[in-house]
Structure 1
Amino acid sequence: MSYQMIALTMFSSMMVLLLTGQRVFGVIGFVGAAAAILLWGDGGIEMPFNASFVLLNWYPLLTLPLFIFMGYMLSESGIASELYDMFHVWMGSLKGGLAVGTIGLMVVVSAMNGLSVAGMAIGASIALPELLRRGYDKIMVTGVVQAGSSLGILVPPSVVLVLYGMIARQPVGKLWLAGAVPGLMLAAMFVLYIVIRCRLQPDLAPALPEEERHHTAREKFKLLRAGILPLLIFFAMTGLFVLGVTSLVESAAVGATSALVAAWIKGRLTRQVIENTVHKTLGITCMFMWIILAALCFGAVFDGLGAVRAIEALFLDRIGMGPWEILLMMQLSYIVMGMFLDDTAMLVIVAPLYVPLVMSLGFDPVWYGVLYTITVQIAYMTPPFGYNLFLMRAMAPPEISLGDIYRSVWPFVTIMLLGLALVTAFPQIAMWLPDTFYGVRR
């Protein structure tokens, strides 16, 4: 059997097993380990064994539990709830103002955590019930929460971009800066859509009643201070790293420590908060570790087969596709895989194959990292099997059906496709900030 057929068999076997409902890391690891033993005999067992040591010796991976701890500490201590109260008061007089405030909340939560799961949990548990109680259209606000939570993997400090930087051997600082403007651009496009639609259809999102808008300037600024604290933590963490004062791991430690101190200052560092934060941090971190471990084994077998060079020869020489056609095909493949895999699984399986191909085609790998992340956001929200759709179904109130969730995402998926097209056509949207900053430093 040729190595091309072996590679195709591995991929098809993995997809079939995923359809059976098995855990992602179990499927990837099993296919990789089984292929290694079948191809190289008893010596093949060394491949998954070596992969585990590569993972355990991967020092930058310490950033994952630290970033995740920071986000959950700020969430469990109630600081995220205070943020929503701030947006509630400052934006409530606008038609659709609470939906706009929810997008603002999601941007700040993204800056605190770097994961879409945390944003979804906060949006579904805090913002969604309040929006429904205020008479907002359930389909529109369900889409708002899903779209806003998707920003978590693009706005710095994105955990996904950290992993991409490790795999693609690209500076995480440049990737964070490259994701900042597109992330804020998408948030602004979401807000613009909400405002325009609520002007055209006022019954979808009523403004706050007159009696609830009367707050003194003192009360408003007291609420405003609630939003400053997480932003200070964010700027302290990312600013020290981008300026070169701290390493990536040290920056993550600064963020985690700052969140712990902030909870203590507010008098909310209880035993229950610590237990919940540590439990959730451990669960998410272990999930990441297992997936990365399995994918390292899978990728080692693929690399041993020469699959990267085979894919490059297939598309460029045999099929004769152009660079932009290959890029489009890669993005479509992410959307298809997003029906079955989460962002981490897709990244660690496909990035070792795609990144060398992207670089050989003459594209900037930092820019491509942003394209990948936006495409994953779209895949998360695309029916019928988008990851965020079922996450929302698990967290949403009973009155929101799966059909409502499916209908809610299409306007936001369209906006994200437009954003992806803009970043693809005009790479400087992503590259202006890192090029400017790192250009000055040179």
Structure 2
Amino acid sequence: MTDPQIAILMLVLFIGIVLLGFPIAFTLIAMGLGFGYYAYAKEDQLEHIFQNNIFDLFVSNTFSVMSNEVLVAVPLFLFMGYVVERANIVNRLFFSIQIATRHVPGSMAIAALATCAIFATATGIVGAVVTLMGLLAFPAMMKAGYDKKLASGVICAGGTLGILIPPSIMLIVYAAIAQVSPVRLYAAALFPGIMLASMYMMYVVVRATINPSLAPKPKEEDVPSIGIILWQLLTSFVPLFVLILGVLGSILAGVATPAEAAGVGSLGGLILAGLYRSLSWERLKEAVYLTARTSAMVCWLFVGSWTFASVFSYLGGHALIEHWILSMDLGPIQFLIIAQLIIFFLGWPLEWSEIIIIFVPIFLPLLQHYNIDPLFFGVLVALNLQTSFLTPPMAMSAYYLKGVAGKTVELIEIFKGIMPYLVIVIFAMFLMYVFPQIVLWLPKYLFG
């Protein structure tokens, strides 16, 4: 076998082993070291079993990841999200928005989507948002007589917004891989995120207007006075909105780097939790533990993927794929469609982290050939990856909701409920293809 054929075998074996359930980070490391030992042994003419450049490469990659300044923002944003999640802020936010929008058709679903968008902005963790809203908003909608499919679709679709809306962890990871400014990437993703959340809300309003039985209006006797509504909004929506605005605003204004803004956001989350009297030692320990566990997973995924990708490229895998794509004589739009279809299908068996770290770098060298802005490509990938959480039979957001809803709703009902939102995501991608300025206008306006 030639070296490029061995590289393709390496890629196929990785996908097969991951599908068997092996840990992805350690699978990447093991395969990178194993195939790298073969790749570098031919050149080194080894005299000793441990005299191989693959070990130097692995150590160098580990040091590079752990000292990457962009990735410092990851644990800080995670910590801010976990603190906010455990501070009982979200339940106050949901009920205050629901009461304030009571005259809008499908007000409770609108409140759930708005809460998901705001909470996703504070955490960026899909599983956490879907799980928490499944415990909080889904039972409330069931009690109010909402249609199960509509309610489950709202929770699942709203929970995935954290991938796209800044400060998304996924965008930080992409910025580190593509070597683009995370600040520009955040600016590029802001309008598409707001657009997608607005499209979700418009769909709910139209459905509830056409068929009011899907989302009954609240009873007037259950609505408190205007003073109580304003007080609840003031004590729930305003503090969290100020925190998010401070974090995002300082990044986009160039006042702070993402890591610095994340540090301020973490402190702000602790202050909010203290003001709401929900900051206990146990909750703080849990937030720190979850932050450390998730951050370690991301860092070791980077170490493994960079080692894997280095060996894959050294064996000629990247060159082979690049030659194959260029030989098809595609235009920029055709290339984007093929790349997004591949990412779409990879989203069924794999998580977003594996796709971003392992497979997206295969396409990055081709962007310059097709004159595609890496910011545009990154936002398009972020939008596309939401489909991996919404596409049956591997729609992870559906399983998150089913896990907390239990027998209240069947899995097939959740699948039916999320299909309209999957169509909306695809339509949003179409709009970005037709009007790329949706992505590119704000970063150009802010940074030139």
TM range, smaller chain: over 0.9
Give the aligned partner of residue 4 of structure 1: 4
How far the C-alpha of 1:123 sits from its partner, in A, is 1.3
**Residue 39 of structure 2 contacts residue 311 of structure 2 at CA under 8 Å; is this kept in 1?**
no
Deviations 1:271-328 (A, max 9, x none): 1221222222223222222222221211111232343333222211x33333322211
Structure 1 residue identity aligned to 2:374: P
Report the counterpart of residue 129 of structure 1 in structure 2.
Answer: 139
Is contact 1:342-1:387 (8 Å) kept? Answer: no
Specify the alignment match of 2:405 in structure 1. Answer: 396
Aligned to 1:197: 207
Please say if residues 307 and 353 of structure 1, whose CA atoms lie closer than 8 Å, have aligned partners that are also in contact.
Answer: no
> Residue 304 of structure 1 aligns with which residue?
314
Moved more, 277-286 or 193-202: 277-286
How far apart, in 2, do the equivalents of 1:273 and 1:285 lie?
18
Does the 8 A contact of 1:76 with 1:276 survive in 2?
no
Q: What is aligned with 2:238? A: 228
Q: Which residue does 1:116 correspond to in 2? A: 126
Higher mean Cα deviation, 330-339 or 279-288? 279-288
SS in 2 for 1:246: coil
The question of whether the paired residues in 2 share the 8 Å contact of 1:110 and 1:155 is answered with: yes
C-alpha contact 2:10 2:312 (8 A) present in aligned 1: no
Alignment partner of 2:87 out of 66, 77, 98: 77
- Residue 420 (1) aligns with residue 429 (2): yes
Q: How does 1:421-440 map to 2 (within 5 A)?
A: 421-439=430-448
Q: Distance in 1 between matches of 2:213 and 2:374?
A: 45
| 1:358 alignment counterpart | 367
Instruction: Determine which of 100, 105, 111 is the counterpart of 2:110.
Output: 100
Distance 1:266 1:195 in 2: 32
Q: Look up the match of 2:25.
A: 25
Residue equivalent to 1:140: 150
Distance 1:139 1:330 in 2: 32
The Cα shift of 1:349 comes to 0.3
Name the residue aligned to 2:340: 331
Deviates more, 1:112-121 or 1:368-377: 112-121
Amino acid at match of 1:411: P
Identify the match of residue 153 of structure 1 among 147, 157, 163: 163
Alpha-carbon offset, residue 267 of structure 1: 2.4
Answer yes or no: is the 8 Å Cα contact 2:109–2:151 preserved in 1: yes
SS in 1 for 2:329: coil
State the alpha-carbon separation in 2 of the partners of residues 392 and 48 from structure 1: 39
- Residue from 369, 375, 380 that aligns with 2:384: 375
Shift of 1:202: 1.5
Whether contact under 8 Å (1:36, 1:47) holds in the other structure is no
1: distance between equivalents of 2:171 and 2:194? Answer: 16
- Structure 1 unaligned segments of length 5 or more: list them: none
* Residues 313 and 319, structure 2, Cα contact 8 Å, conserved in 1: no
SS at match of 1:420: helix
- Quote the Cα distance in structure 2 between the aligned partners of 1:81 and 1:133: 16
TM-score normalised by L of structure 1: 0.95
CA contact (8 A) 1:135 1:205 kept: yes
Q: How many angstroms apart in 1 are the aligned matches of 2:82 and 2:370?
A: 40
Q: Is the 8 A contact 2:156 2:397 kept in 1?
A: yes
Match of 2:324 in 1: 314
Letter in 2 for 1:38: Y
1:50 equivalent in alignment to 2:50: no
Letter in 2 for 1:266: Y
Counting matched residue pairs gives 437
Deviation at 1:110, TM superposition (A): 1.5
TM-score by length of 2: 0.94
Residues 80 and 266, structure 2, Cα contact 8 Å, conserved in 1: yes
Partner of 2:46: none
Q: How far apart are residue 45 of structure 1 and its match?
A: 3.1
Indicate the residue corresponding to 1:180 in structure 2: 190
**RMSD (Å), alpha carbons:** 1.6
One-letter identity of the residue aligned with 2:353: T
Q: Deviations for 1:225-258, whole angstroms, at most 9, x for unmatched residues?
A: 1101111111111222222222221111011011
The percentage of aligned residue pairs carrying the same residue is: 27
- CA distance in 1 between counterparts of 2:434 and 2:317 reads 29
Cα shift readout 1:71-93 (whole Å, capped 9, x = no counterpart): 11111011111111111211234
Task: Give the Å deviation of 1:27.
Answer: 2.6
Please tell me whether the aligned partners of residues 7 and 316 of structure 2 are also in contact (alpha carbons under 8 angstroms).
Answer: no
Q: Which amino acid aligns with 2:57?
A: M
Instruction: Give the secondary structure class of the aligned counterpart of 1:355.
Output: helix
Residues 133/279 of structure 1: CA separation in 2 closer, same or farther (3 Å cut): farther
Q: Deviations over 1:37-95 (max 9, x none)?
A: 22223513333333222221212212111101111111101111111111121123433
- The letter for the 2-side match of 1:425 is V
C-alpha distance in 2 between matches for 1:355 and 1:340: 22
Which position in structure 2 is the counterpart of 1:40? 40
**Paired amino acid for 1:427:** P
Distance in structure 1 (CA, Å) of the matches to 2:330 and 2:386 = 26
Give secondary structure in 2 for the equivalent of 1:397.
Answer: helix
Judge which range, 38-47 or 243-252, deviates more. 38-47
CA distance in 1, matches of 2:253, 2:106: 38
2: distance between equivalents of 1:194 and 1:361?
38
Q: What is the alpha-carbon distance in structure 2 between the residues aligned to residue 39 and residue 12 of structure 1?
A: 17
Quote the offset at 1:419 in angstroms. Answer: 0.3
